[in-house]
Amino acid sequence: MIKLPITRFLLFFVAIGILVSCGEEKKKRQLSLPKTDLKTVSIIPLPQKVIATETGFALDKFSAIFTTETANGFAEVGAFLSEKIQGKTNLDIAVNSVQNDSLEGIIYINRSDSLELETPESYQLYIRSDSIIINSNSAAGAFRAVQTLRQLIPETANDTLADYPIWAIPTGKIVDAPSLAYRGAMLDVARHFFSVADVKKFIDVLAYYKYNGLHLHLSDDQGWRIEIKSWPKLTEIGASTEVGGESGGFYTQEDFKEIVAYAKKHHMMIIPEIDMPGHTNAASVSYPILNGNGKTLKPYEGTRVGFSTFDTRKDTVYAFIDDVVREIAEISPSPYFHIGGDESHVTKKKDYIHFVEKVEKIVQKHEKRMIGWDEIGTADVDSSSISQFWSSTENAKLAVAKGMQIIMSPAKKAYLDMQYDSLSKHGLHWAAFIPVDTAYNWSPKAYEGIPEKNILGLEAPLWSETISTISELEYLAFPRAIGYAELGWTPKELRNWDTYKKRLADQEYYLKRMNVNYYESALVPWKDE
């Protein structure tokens, strides 16, 4: 194997070499490739611009991937693509090395300064019959392009073109960029705990649809789920419970780092949430000094909300929070720290406001931006903090008045734990039933008068009162989370339920191959009925 220090200059010669050495053989293959049309392939989220040129690129054992090697992360994106091609086709495609004399069909992942690439996640994907070129100004953009490319590889090879299998990728040009900067999901690992392996599997699917964040709800009345070395009883005691009396669990700091690293490989960030001053029964059971509701503490494994609170007037409480935020911030590279702040029904209003303002300072001291559920808008918080709109338009508007950014998660539209319909096996319906079309047919940039300029992104929360296995998690998440991916990425003018539902139906090949459970809603024209 020859190791080549690839530069764009050198690539040019490699390409010329290929043209000369395998010109004849190649011409034959190009001519015989069936006509395919880039416009008819089901891509989700739908890219901004797709131009089809109606020939095919042959992905086969002669293909190779080359990447810019001088810019951060590009070689890793190449390795990721090779790994995923292997998973789908069994082809072993070399990255940044020449493996085969008759090398042809290069996929080049290139860092570009083109002004057309306006955001770090923007990309261009040029597919020609002899090469594929991805341009982006950051590895994140290249990674998003790779997800598009994965969706263009047919499920099955064509075995009649040559005596080896060929996957014909339709040629053309895709120019793409996200509509919203933040596109996230949330998983509640507090009501029911989910293992590192479960979280990784969830990340795999979210990344395929170009999500860039996963928010983990790490504490609630029913359980504390992350190791805090300076307060060990949080996990010794607080992690042992779960809704329904099951066994609970928690992430060690090493586990958390493993999740963060896995997310990073998928160009996603993990946003940690410690919910307070309410939703804190598990913390107060572990350390009763934190408790502010004046009642005798006992472990809680039901599904009520709003009965617990920290004592907002005690210095120890803030010393505790400082330790928790510090330890998590040290292992969490995301710029954000989520403090919860929802449904603190037994905290007096003035105490709640005092608390949020103090905790904001702690979060800032540890160099993170605070995110909180929309109730935090009632406190005097900084414009750099972020409000997550789940329930109250009034609270969201208070945040807008302070110049804060908003993450859109309106429960009536975006809650993954809402039942699809009255027959749904899992889920709640306090906010609404959310069928697959309702989940898709709204616009996070134009909702209840929140100005577009304040909207940072869209997040779909999955609360886990009614689910305890990965299969149940997937039943609620999919296919709705695929629609939220499109709401976050594709501009409104290009979204249309009738064309989307057909593209959604085609996702069953991927979901089945990945062993991902989903709700077979009758609203979607699935192929295999």
As a residue count, the chain comes to: 529
Question: Under the criterion CB under 6 A, does residue 463 sit at the interface with ligand TNX?
Answer: yes
Which residue's CB is nearer to ligand TNX, number 162 or number 353? 353
Specify whether the backbone of 132 is left (phi greater than 0), alpha (psi in -120 to 50) or beta. Answer: beta
- Sequential DSSP letters for 130-154: SEEEEEESSHHHHHHHHHHHHHHS-
Which residue's CB is nearer to ligand TNX, number 147 or number 464? 464
Question: Under the criterion CB under 6 A, does residue 428 sit at the interface with ligand TNX?
Answer: yes
Q: Which two tokens stand for residue 79?
A: 């390795």
User: In DSSP terms, which residues pair with 52 in a beta bridge?
Assistant: 172
How many chain residues are in contact with ligand TNX, going by CB under 6 A? 10
Half-sphere exposure of residue 242: CA atoms within 13 angstroms, side-chain side: 18
The residues, any chain, with a CB within 8 Å of residue 73's CB and separated by 6 or more, are 138, 139, 140, 142, 143
Question: Under the criterion CB under 6 A, does residue 390 sit at the interface with ligand TNX?
Answer: yes
CB of 409 to ligand TNX, least distance (A): 8
CB of 33 to ligand TNX, least distance (A): 50
Q: SS3 of 222, please? A: coil
CB of 417 to ligand TNX, least distance (A): 5
First to last CA, the chain: 48
CB of 373 to ligand TNX, least distance (A): 4
Question: Under the criterion CB under 6 A, does residue 221 sit at the interface with ligand TNX?
Answer: no
Question: Under the criterion CB under 6 A, does residue 305 sit at the interface with ligand TNX?
Answer: yes
Which residue's CB is nearer to ligand TNX, number 267 or number 338? 338
CA neighbor of 144 nearest in space, from 45, 68, 50, 67: 45
Report the alpha-carbon distance of residue 364 to residue 437 in Å, rounded.
40
CB 153 within 8 A of CB 169: yes
Q: Which of 273, 342, 360, 474 binds ligand TNX (CB under 6 A)?
A: 342
The residues, any chain, with a CB within 8 Å of residue 443's CB and separated by 6 or more, are 487, 492
Which residue's CB is nearer to ligand TNX, number 53 or number 393? 393
Which residue's CB is nearer to ligand TNX, number 402 or number 429? 429
User: In DSSP terms, which residues pair with 457 in a beta bridge?
Assistant: 182, 407
**Window 392 to 421, contacts with ligand TNX (CB under 6 A):** 415, 417
Which residue's CB is nearer to ligand TNX, number 125 or number 190? 190
Question: Under the criterion CB under 6 A, does residue 346 sit at the interface with ligand TNX?
Answer: no
Which residue's CB is nearer to ligand TNX, number 135 or number 388? 388
Angle of CA points 310, 312, 313, to nearest 5°: 135
Question: Under the criterion CB under 6 A, does residue 373 sit at the interface with ligand TNX?
Answer: yes
Report the alpha-carbon distance of residue 8 to residue 383 in Å, rounded.
44
Which residue's CB is nearer to ligand TNX, number 112 or number 308? 308
**Site mask for ligand TNX (CB under 6 A), range 132-171, x = bound:** ----------------------------------------
Q: Give contact residues for ligand TNX (rule: CB under 6 A).
A: 305, 342-343, 373, 390, 415, 417, 428, 463, 465
